[in-house]
Amino acid sequence: MLTTRRGLACLAFLVPAAALSGFAVVMARKIVKRGPKDYRRAELTDDGRRVRIDLDDYTKAPGDFGVFDPATEKYTRVGEVTLINEDQKYVERRIDPLGSAPGRLGPIVDWTPDVFFEPSAVGGRFEEVDVPTAYGAAPAWLFEAENTDVWVIHIHGSWTDRSIMFRDVHAFSSLGFTSLVPTFRSDPEVSPPQAESSHLGQTEWRDVESAVSYAVARGARRIILSGWSMGGTIALLTAERSAHRDRIAGVVLVGPVTSWRKTITAGAVRAGVPAIGAGLVMCLLQAPPFARMLGLEEPIDFDALEWVDVPNRVAVPTLVLHSYTDQEVPWEISAAFQRANPDTVTLIPVPEAHHTQEWNASPCTFSNELTAWVSKTILAEQG
């Protein structure tokens, strides 16, 4: 009887332990591997003036967004929510501008925060350029401007692509700076193909350093690094490690990952998993054998990717634009980041928005806050 009880006790321990281990493996893969597209059902309504799409927290969010139809490979911009049907689980949004609806749409689409879709839609002169890197050519968009002394390097996050940064280029456009939107090694566009796994910024920063070198070689005297989500991690690493640190005048971060430990822990909590589960995830990503199994060039060094628990690590003026309602990278992490770097970091809350969708919620507010800070902090003090 005692043996049976011990066996049941062991089983009671092993079952949740096995479940946690399984969660850790799945979550580790999800963090560093590109996942499948999250398609939604959609169709045109109201004689092509509106799009009806599956209802969820993202598709009903206020602001301007885009839908991509994989059948036609075309994008459509949508704006105002005109109807929410909670019973049948769909939302209708106005097509923007009116009269720009495609001939057909659906039955499935990909929901995207990108609303420009092509570099020509952002405005101004642009060209496709190749940035030399250690592994070959990395394509980038160069948006030319009158001011060639100040360049902005726009750095996207993990498992998105450079087009997601058109919103950032648009926000900076009134300042008249030259903009460069690079790719990095985990992007499918680079040639020859490189990393199949994200290194959370740990290796990708080297490709952004190549973009910085490209800018300096073409006359950039001051550089602003603007990173969204994991692009924030990359921007912070580049600002610290770049051979051109003296040219980096400032950093702009949107919904940034400034502590991968805290971000992963928050994700575990959101999934209803004990904190120990997040710890297991990080242990796996730090272990060389498991890192190799995931296709990582090197294990993740979480100490190197930590700016919250290291006081005064940020040395350059830094702006953080972040929504209180970001669930993927909680606002509290950015608040702690600012408290750890009070002399260099300015944190500005923006309207309610999902992760890195602060611009979508209010383009005017986003752009005004950004340009005001740059004008006051970088141009006035260093101009």
Distance CA 51, CA 101 (A): 9
207-249: per-residue pLDDT in tens?
999 999 999 999 999 999 999 999 999 999 999 999 999 999 9
Tens of pLDDT, residue by residue over 140-182, are: 999 999 899 999 999 999 888 999 999 999 999 999 999 999 9
Model confidence pLDDT, tens digit, residues 281-321: 999 999 999 999 988 999 999 999 999 999 999 999 999 99
Report whether 143 contacts 124 (CB < 8 A): yes
Three-state DSSP class for residue 179: strand
Per CATH, 39-112 and 119-382 having the same topology is answered no
> CATH assignment of 39-112?
2.40.10
Candidate CATH numbers 1.10.420.10, 3.30.200.20, 3.40.50.1820, 3.30.70.20; the one for domain 119-382: 3.40.50.1820
The gap between the terminal CA atoms of the chain, to the nearest Å, is 82
Contact 100, 116 (CB under 8 A): no
Contacts of 93 (CB under 8 A, 6+ apart): 50, 51, 53, 59, 65, 78, 79, 80, 81, 82
Range of 192-196, 349-353, 362-366 with top mean pLDDT: 362-366
The whole-angstrom separation of Cα 247 and Cα 144 is: 19
In tens, the pLDDT along 17-59 reads: 445 567 788 888 889 988 888 899 999 999 899 999 999 999 9
**Domain segments of the chain: what residues?**
39-112, 119-382
The Cα-based distances of 31 to 157, 159, 281 in angstroms read: 12, 10, 9
pLDDT category at 276 given cuts 50, 70, 90 is confident
